[in-house]
Structure 1
């Protein structure tokens, strides 16, 4: 639906990382004067805003840890009242749901202290391990590509998951909440039966009443994105662009997107028997 070409700081004359040789190539590459270096998470928010301005609603946002680890991205989604399930790394910190801030005693001098959490925020890995392996529940979320005993003849994707209610922490989150209670969010951790600790983590602002299978299926939807991306690269030529200009790249990805949309519509309009025979 939307694309952005990431321009590194070395191509931006206003960036402290500007490379004179690359900046000099901007005109030859037909890069618009107003286009500069923008962080990827901000590009994603810009794409969401533009997509919505076209009258296309964004129902949910699914992203990997490259975006989910950035608190500013998650806060930007919440400012737009968007639901999300985003991957995070094990170093992301949070407080347990029952953690409460307290206000230090005021000495009468200087500014009044703001409420703060007495305990240091923990890494999400530690929170999940503290919940224990026995808290993990089995969930099947979709049919895979390998033959199996499922109703369609394919093996069901299966693992075990821990879902906790936590208060994501971090300097940007604390600044945004201005000393008030940190909001409660879902922490989802995948903990396979044969592993000693969780292997993957997500944060989500889906409602508190969201069932575990819904959390898991939503988090795993990113596989669908990766599958589409692989199809566009390998079958439709997304990775075959050899041009050298800003307009040329946009032209290329537009045609690939239209081709992918056409192929998707063809699959959706065919009967299952016709798809199998094809």
Structure 2
């Protein structure tokens, strides 16, 4: 169905500094009015305080009484492709701030009702509550100028993947199906590698609550892609060399599958080493690190020579007698302070997700369709990137 827009879009925006940025990202849109409404939506996201409802965005950029309807149509009904805009956003950002890593951030988007695409009631560990929500995972460019979101996947629950009526109502493409979190993460990394003009940088992610984190580790290893990933404490691993028995009267034995936490306890807790790490304020502090080499446990018979070594490490918290998050990396030749610097990037991405929610309308999409959701997430990401980098050029 053709989407009709008013003949007059907000001409007053044509001379704003955002215009060139919007033109670069959305130049692939075939209609001039679509490109102007993309510009208007960006301006609204950047200038509207508080909730970013379509009505408030429209009021911020146009006095026309039909502007709200037009913005709604542009985001929800207009059949434009978001991938070209995200590719252009990635390259625009890389030209201005070289990434230190690609980080993965997760967003929980609370919703009312059961008609918004992908919505379901689920327990959210971060909040400790059961919420009616959409869940998403995004890829960020972690730079010295900020953590810039450039791509998003919506996690589609099985109910939405299998119900044909729901799929039609939400305009879910035939190729979209229910996939586990690790598959979404791997797909995002593959897409980033294809879009970037630079050599791949390490991927940093927190999958400490994902029991299938090992599958992401294997996928990235097969691609020879560097990573530092927080993994579950019960991830099955095999230590390199004999394990020190918890009971000193018991002789050390051969490497057998153990949980990641058990391995760190048994091998290195008596021999932590100290690393010096920096903070955002420039101050340095000393932390105690426990580390060892491991392989992933394999259900298949495969020779040891074909299995990759990883470094498992965690910060030891002596006053609480426990480990902080446990990280697994294939960057086994990196210094521990370099690895810790990469793990610290995850906190920056998590903070950026909060900023997107509070200041850029990440949770304010009012439509129900799959394309509309991706349109909104693309525009929110573009607004944030411009806010971090584009204004420096104005």
CA contact (8 A) 2:239 2:294 kept: yes
What CA deviation, in whole Å up to 9, does each residue of 1:69-101 have, x standing for no partner?
A: 52221111111111000001111122222259x
Distance 1:158 1:47 in 2: 34
Aligned to 1:24, the other structure's residue is in SS state helix
The equivalences for 1:156-167 within 5 A come to 159-167=287-295
Judge conservation of contact 1:12–1:36 (CA < 8 Å) in 2.
yes
CA-atom RMSD, angstroms?
2.6
Q: Which residue of the partner structure matches residue 188 of structure 1?
A: 313
Which of the residues 155, 159, 165 maps onto 1:10?
159
1:230 aligned residue: 354
Q: Identify unmatched segments of 5+ residues in structure 2.
A: 1-149, 244-252
Give ranges in structure 1 of 5+ residues lacking alignment: 14-19, 101-116, 145-149, 271-278
**Larger relative contact order (CA 8 Å, sep ≥ 6):** 2
**Partners of 1:219 and 1:186 in 2: CA distance:** 13
Aligned to 2:258: 122
Task: State the alpha-carbon separation in 2 of the partners of residues 11 and 41 from structure 1.
Answer: 19
**119 and 58 in structure 1: CA distance in 2 versus 1, 3 angstrom threshold:** closer
**How many residues align structurally?**
232
**Within the alignment, does 1:78 sit opposite 2:221 as a pair?**
yes
Q: SS in structure 2 opposite 1:194?
A: coil
Farther off after superposition, 228-237 or 193-202: 193-202
Tell me the SS of whatever aligns to 2:227. Answer: strand
CA–CA separation in structure 2 for the residues paired with 1:141 and 1:241:
38
Alignment of 1:124-163 (within 5 A): 124-130=260-266, 131-143=268-280, 159-163=287-291
Query: Distance in 1 between the 2:201 and 2:291 partners?
Result: 22
Q: Secondary structure at the match of 1:221?
A: helix
**Structure-2 residue corresponding to 1:45:** 186
Which residue matches 1:110?
A: none
- Change in Cα spacing, 1:69 to 1:37, as seen in structure 2 (3 Å) is closer
Match of 2:205 in 1: 63
Cα offsets for 1:183-225 (capped at 9, x unmatched): 22111111123121213200000032x1111111111211111
211 and 243 in structure 1: CA distance in 2 versus 1, 3 angstrom threshold: same
Distance 1:265 1:68 in 2: 37
- Structure 1 segments (4+ residues) deviating >4 Å: 66-69, 155-158, 266-270
TM-score, reference length from structure 2: 0.54
SS at match of 2:278: strand
Residue 42 of structure 2 is matched in structure 1 by none
For 1:197, which of 322, 325, 332 is the aligned residue? Answer: 322
2:211 touches 2:235 (CA, 8 Å); kept in 1? no
Deviations, residues 206-256 of structure 1 (Å, cap 9, x unaligned): 032x11111111112111111211111111010111210111101110111
Give yes or no for the alignment of 1:218 onto 2:354.
no
